[in-house]
Chain A
């Protein structure tokens, strides 16, 4: 097999959700471009980004949907939950209201995704320690109670941004390895890379599954 830039084995789909202004688009930008976007316009509907990462020696392409936090786009953004293998749920550590809304974001996520979707809680803007409005302990406890992964991160400095995206991918990859995540399920949010033009998804999946069994 060649090792060109398009050589990856899986596609994982992520969504990023949370109140408006918590820094979802900045986190995505920091992850894909390694830059901080200081004056980022509000997202209209959904935006899209991708990056190829490596987990346990496997190249994985992340296709990330960054959703609008504004209430009026909720109908649009809801349709992107369904196919997500990972959900990054973001609040702003300097604004308590964004933290208080987490339970409603979580309800939406649980209702609209499938049970194997990995949910990762991110407390963003941790560079603004002086303006902190939500303690680490409190959020950490919330995450634990709800079975979520958790970090505090900063889209500005880049702290923990990679970690959040990569940990999520590791967790998803584990689920595939354990067989908990069914690649052939319609809304699993994971696909094999299309190997040859013309072949349809299903035969790709079957082909790859056979390969997996052999090793």
Chain B
């Protein structure tokens, strides 16, 4: 990211190109500060307006802007001459104004988008004027990595002395707002940032100056670039890291740690209850998940996970979602996720419900769009005492004859309480269920009493 105050001798401003858009000629200014480059386009009239402002407010001499010409201003030689003249003009103006950098000139050259100081100046003003409004409404603010980076750089370096405003740049309003937000959102990007050669996801993310309160939401960021999580491990109750190409959970929960092979006490996420890592490239649920002992909700949708790992070290885990992954077998799940209440395994390759047979705390099970073809594979679900919501649509089995009735029959007396595919059984279905179970009793030669107790 650009930093004019520490690179003021390495600035190059040119107008290499012109471009015609809707019959108007735009001059493309290229600004280079140290290693950082960006472009900004302006038409002649914008130069003209800038110039008039600079004459009145900043003592720029009148006759240095190439003059207006109304007729013949579309000819190539004319444009070429004007391009050269405007280039000289901005270069001259910059040398004249680089100590003071008036706001109007900052904005004309887009310094406020790419330069640490001028970007923070705008952000500080925004936080000062809108901060309380944000806090009294959504309590959420979405940051770009460039803003976080600018704040960190500014806190670590001596402040520059531009005199474009009466007050020096004050980070107080920014940090004040940050320390009170409920949710801290960071949106990254791997492409060039706007019209510059800055890549947001190559900027380090250091959260130490921010007192993050409850929620930390990262989207499309590069976890490698997180150098410090600040106080997040002590305070964050909801962590969301999505669309960030993450392969391992340790890359997230230990993103600030170099050697991720051991789990240290100091790395624990003390109050984390909800972890959403949807839309990444996770292949499994690795050991580092145990750093979040208080986890209640774990959401891993749209990854490449093929097995459910042992999660018994997370005693409070009640909601697990691994939708749209690569799960084929899940045997003896009660040995891995004993206390689960809600389980979403929709859009996987599961062929049987047998592995769920002892998940006695399960209340909601979503197995929609899997590979279950055989109704018998679901029989054991009928013996789960708390199960009330069962979703099976999108499996082959759900298009078989009498599918609903047959599934409901597994629940015996409880059939009436079951929401199957989001619907309670109809009277007709319940009648059929009782007929079917009566038939079965006769067939199997058992006494009605035994079957009523639900053991077959």
Question: Which residues of B have CB within 8 Å of A78?
Answer: 158
Whether a CB of chain B sits under 8 angstroms from the CB of A215 is no
B209 at the interface (CB under 8 A from A): yes
Q: Among A11, A44, A186, A193, which residue has its beta carbon within 8 angstroms of that of B167? A: A186
Interface of B, helix, strand, loop or mixed by DSSP: helix
Question: CB < 8 Å: which of B157, B166, B172 contacts A76?
Answer: B157
Task: Give chain A nearest CB distance to B133 CB in angstroms.
Answer: 5
User: Taking the complex as formed, is A130 at the interface, i.e. its CB lies under 8 A from any CB of chain B?
Assistant: no
Q: Would you call B136 and A197 a contact (CB within 8 A)?
A: no
Q: Name the A residues within 8 Å of B170 (CB-CB).
A: 83
Q: Which residue of A lies closest to B178 (CB)?
A: A48
Tell me the A175-215 residues at the B interface (CB within 8 Å). Answer: 186-187, 193-194, 196-201
Instruction: Indicate if A46 sits at the interface (CB-CB under 8 A).
Output: yes
Task: Tell me the chain A residues, 1-16 only, with Cβ under 8 Å from chain B.
Answer: 4, 6, 11, 13
B53 adjacent to chain A (CB < 8 Å): no
Find the B residue at minimum CB distance from A73: B156
B176 and A48 form a contact (CB under 8 A): yes
B167 close to A79 (CB less than 8 A): no
If A48-B209, A50-B179, A75-B158 touch, whether A187 touches B135 (CB-CB below 8 Å) is: no
Knowing A76-B158, A79-B168, A186-B166, the reply to whether A194 touches B132 (Cβ < 8 A) is: yes
* Segment from B93-101, B123-131, B192-200 that makes contact with A: B123-131
Chain A residue at minimal CB-CB distance from B175: A48
Chain B minimum-CB-distance residue to A198 = B129
Chain A neighbourhood of B158, CB < 8 A: 75-76, 78-79
Please tell me if A63 contacts chain B, counting CB pairs below 8 Å: yes
Closest to B157 in A: A76
B12 close to chain A: CB less than 8 A: no
In the complex, how many angstroms separate the beta carbon of B228 from the nearest chain A beta carbon? 10
B219 to A: closest C-beta gap in Å: 26
Main SS of the interface on chain A? loop
Q: What residues of A have a CB within 8 angstroms of the CB of B155 in the complex?
A: 45-46, 76
In the bound complex, residues from chain B placing their C-beta under 8 Å from that of A44 are 156
Partner of B128 from the list A47, A76, A83, A194 (CB cut-off 8 Å) is A194
**Interchain CB contact under 8 A, B176 and A50:** yes
A132 contacts B by Cβ under 8 Å:
no
A17 to B157, CA, bound (A): 17
A83 near B129: Cβ-Cβ < 8 Å:
no
We find that the number of chain B residues with CB closer than 8 angstroms to chain A is 23
A187 contacts which chain B residues (CB < 8 A)?
167-168
* CA of A201 to CA of B173, assembled, Å: 13
Q: Taking the nearest CB of chain B, how far is it from the CB of A14, in angstroms?
A: 10
The reply to whether A194 and B172 form a contact with Cβ atoms under 8 Å apart is no
In the assembled complex, the Cα of A80 lies from the Cα of B159 at a distance in Å of 8
- Smallest Cβ-Cβ distance to B172: which chain A residue: A63
Nearest A residue to B165, CB-CB: A186
B171 within 8 A of partner (CB): yes
Judged by a CB distance under 8 angstroms, whether A82 is at the interface is yes
B443 to chain A, nearest CB (A): 70
For A83, list chain B residues within 8 Å (CB): 167-168, 170
Chain B residues with Cβ below 8 Å from A201 are 128, 167
With beta carbons under 8 angstroms apart, the residue of B135, B166, B171 that contacts A6 is B135
Known: A13-B172, A83-B170. A197 touches B133 (CB 8 A): yes
As a 0/1 sequence over residues 42 to 56 of chain A, the CB contacts with chain B under 8 angstroms (1 = contact) are: 001111111000000
Closest residue of B by beta carbon distance from A191: B128
A4 adjacent to B136 (CB under 8 Å):
yes
Nearest-Cβ distance from residue A124 to partner chain B, whole angstroms: 23
**A-side contacts of B168, CB under 8 Å:** 79, 82-83, 186-187
Q: Judging by beta carbons under 8 Å apart, are B209 and A199 in contact? A: no
Residue in A closest to B152 when the chains form the complex, CB atoms: A45
Whether A79 touches B209, Cβ cut-off 8 Å, given contacts A6-B136, A63-B172, A63-B176, is: no
Instruction: Give A144 to B268 CA distance when docked, in angstroms.
Output: 49
B171: chain A residues at CB < 8 Å are: 48
Interface residues of A in 48-80 (CB under 8 A from B): 48-50, 61, 63, 65, 75-76, 78-80
Asked if B179 and A197 make an inter-chain contact with CB atoms under 8 angstroms apart, the answer reads: no
Considering the chains assembled together, what is the distance between the CA atoms of A50 and B177 in angstroms? 10
Which residue on A lies nearest to B132, using beta carbons?
A6
Q: How far is the CA of A48 from the CA of B172 in the complex (A)?
A: 8
Q: Which residue of A lies closest to B180 (CB)?
A: A50
Contacts of A200 in B (CB 8 A): 129
Cβ-closest 9 pairs across A and B: A79-B159, A75-B158, A48-B175, A63-B172, A6-B132, A186-B166, A45-B156, A45-B155, A197-B129
What are 23 sample pairs from A and B whose C-beta atoms fall under 8 A apart?
Answer: A45-B155, A46-B155, A47-B209, A48-B172, A48-B176, A48-B179, A48-B209, A49-B179, A50-B176, A50-B179, A61-B176, A75-B158, A76-B157, A78-B158, A80-B159, A82-B168, A83-B167, A193-B132, A194-B128, A194-B129, A194-B131, A198-B129, A201-B128
Q: Which residues of A contact B (CB under 8 A)?
A: 4, 6, 11, 13, 44-50, 61, 63, 65, 75-76, 78-80, 82-83, 186-187, 193-194, 196-201
